[in-house]
Structure 1
Amino acid sequence: MTTIAVLGKGRVGGNLATALTRAGHEVTTAGRTPGAAAAAARTARIVINATPGAGSLDRLTALREELRGKILVDVSNATADGPDGLPGDLIHPGSSLAERLQEALPDTHVVKTLNTMLFPVMTAPAALAQAPDAFLSGDDPQAKQTVRELLADLGRREEWITDLGGIRTARATEAAILFVPHVIRTSGFAPFALSIAR
């Protein structure tokens, strides 16, 4: 059992919190209010950022002390919305939210994952016709191993997890969000994920 704080009570955060609780972890959730987020992060070993990516950098930088020495699992994508409310452009072109978080929080182990799929697939990978890859980006091998174990608790087999390397590789998976609005406009909100066919 691991103590986990999920920051964000929307569809993504709620879905992850429910699944991780079901897997036997002690999970606390917190909304966007600084006091609640700080209290949740302070007592957790792992903190999951499921807040809207556009405001995540400021929100999490304010929790620098609470996040010191913790693993921060970032599942968000920092995008500016297009006219239809779907992701239209990257807020950190030439970089990524995960990289910016790691720079701002040098004493925190940032791991990027689960940001290349719609939220239902994060906790039900076997529901798709082809099991999707969950990509890992992060500089600390032990932190990534811990996140691998969490992904297994969410129903992922080892061969469905691809370690891309250091945190800089997160810019590739975050840029993949630009596929999403086009797929949704074509096929609707049916669950899907980006994956590598082998």
Structure 2
Amino acid sequence: MTKIAVVGNGRVGGSLAAALARAGHEVTVADRTPGTAADAARTAEVVINATPGAGSLDRFAALRAELRGKVLVDVSNATVDGPDGLPADLLHHGSSLGEQLQEALPETHVVKTLNTMLHPVMTAPATLAQAPDAFLSGENQQAKQTVRELLVDLGWREEWITDLGGIRTARATEAAILFVPHVIRSSGFAPFAISVAR
């Protein structure tokens, strides 16, 4: 059992929290307010960023003390939305939210994952017609192993999880968000994920 704090109580945070609790973990859900998030992070071993990516950097940089030595799982993408509310561009050109978080939180182990899919797939990958991929980006191997084990608890098979390397690789997976609005306009909101055919 792992003590997990999910920061963000929307669709993403709610579904992750429920699935991890069903898997036997001790889960606390915090909204985006600084005090609530700080209280949750202080007692957790793993903290999940399930907040809108555009505001994540400021929100988590303010929790530097509470996140010291913790694993921060970043499932968000920092984007600029278009007129229809769908992602139109990346916020951190030449970088990524994952990299920005790691730079702001040098004593925290940031691991980027689950950001290349619509949110229902995060907790139900086996419902897709073909095997999806979940990618890991981060500097600390033990932190990535911890996150890998949590992904397995969420229903991800080991062979569906790919370690891409350091946190710099997060800029590649975050760029995949730019596929999303085009796929949605073409096919609707049916769940999908980026998958590497082998």
- Shorter-chain TM-score bucket reads over 0.9
The residue that corresponds to 2:88 in the other structure is: 88
The residue that corresponds to 2:28 in the other structure is: 28
**CA positional deviation for 1:170:** 0.2
Counterpart amino acid of 1:17? A
Structure 1 spans left out of the alignment, 5+ residues: none
**CA positional deviation for 1:93:** 1.1
Structure 2 spans left out of the alignment, 5+ residues: none
Whole-angstrom distance in 2 between the partners of 1:88 and 1:30: 28
The 3-state SS of whatever aligns with 2:47 is strand
The 3-state SS of whatever aligns with 1:24 is coil
The residue that corresponds to 1:2 in the other structure is: 2
Counterpart amino acid of 1:63? L
Whole-angstrom distance in 2 between the partners of 1:140 and 1:131: 26
CA deviation string 1:5-28 (max 9, x = no partner)? 000000000000000000000000
Q: Runs of 4+ in structure 1 displaced over 6 angstroms?
A: none
- TM-score between both structures, scaled by the size of structure 1: 1.00
Whole-angstrom distance in 2 between the partners of 1:55 and 1:86: 16
The 3-state SS of whatever aligns with 1:65 is coil
The 3-state SS of whatever aligns with 1:73 is strand
The 3-state SS of whatever aligns with 2:190 is coil
Give runs of aligned pairs for residues 60-71 of structure 1, distance below 5 A: 60-71=60-71
Whole-angstrom distance in 2 between the partners of 1:125 and 1:32: 27
Whole-angstrom distance in 2 between the partners of 1:57 and 1:7: 13
The residue that corresponds to 1:183 in the other structure is: 183
Q: CA RMSD in A?
A: 0.4
1:101 aligns with 2:101: yes
Q: Identity rate of aligned residues, in percent?
A: 83
Whole-angstrom distance in 2 between the partners of 1:69 and 1:95: 23
Whole-angstrom distance in 1 between the partners of 2:32 and 2:154: 24
The 3-state SS of whatever aligns with 1:51 is coil
The residue that corresponds to 2:132 in the other structure is: 132
Counterpart amino acid of 2:95? S
Whole-angstrom distance in 1 between the partners of 2:153 and 2:131: 15
**CA positional deviation for 1:131:** 1.6
Whole-angstrom distance in 2 between the partners of 1:181 and 1:48: 24
Q: Aligned residue pairs: how many?
A: 198
Counterpart amino acid of 2:151? L
The 3-state SS of whatever aligns with 1:66 is coil
CA deviation string 1:44-97 (max 9, x = no partner)? 000000000000000000000000000000000000100100001000011000
